[in-house]
Amino acid sequence: MKALRRYVTWLAREAKSIVRPDLVLRSIERQPAPQDLRAGVIYMVQGGGTPKWAIMRCPCGCGEKLQLSLNPIRRPRWMVHRDRLRRVSLHPSVRQTAGCFAHFWVRHGIIEWCHDSGSLPAEG
């Protein structure tokens, strides 16, 4: 039964990620204006064919603009991946170090909240 429940959970998640993902990827050439940022979209800003930034509204609902560097020589940097079904993943996780302290992963179009999301990051 446990295995079945796990399978059903997985199946529901797969279906949601395809039919109604939390986030979709949109490639653009220029930084979007703040008023053009829609919830549920990760904007990948490309310059000369090279991914530069991933920009999105904070999915916690605070509306903060998150700007993640995709530049391989900068730190921190993130990687955007799109799978066969065009579902977007981000690596590593995204953490707000001020404000709402949101902490989450984006995996196959779905937001996975970390347990410590919303609280001050522990020292270390």
Q: Name the residues that contact Zn ion, by CB under 5 A.
A: 58, 60, 62, 100, 102
For residues 36 and 98, give the distance between their C-alpha atoms in angstroms, rounded to a whole number: 23
Tokens of 10: 């997985």
Enter the tokens of residue 74.
Answer: 């900068």
Q: Nearer to Zn ion by C-beta: 51 or 100?
A: 100
Tell me the closest approach of the beta carbon of residue 118 to Zn ion, in angstroms. Answer: 9
Strands, E, within 6-100: which ranges? 24-28, 41-47, 50-57, 65-69, 79-82, 88-95
**Least CB distance from residue 90 to Zn ion, whole Å?**
15
CB of 95 to Zn ion, least distance (A): 11
Q: Considering the complex, state which of residue 53 and residue 104 has its C-beta at the smaller distance from Zn ion.
A: 104
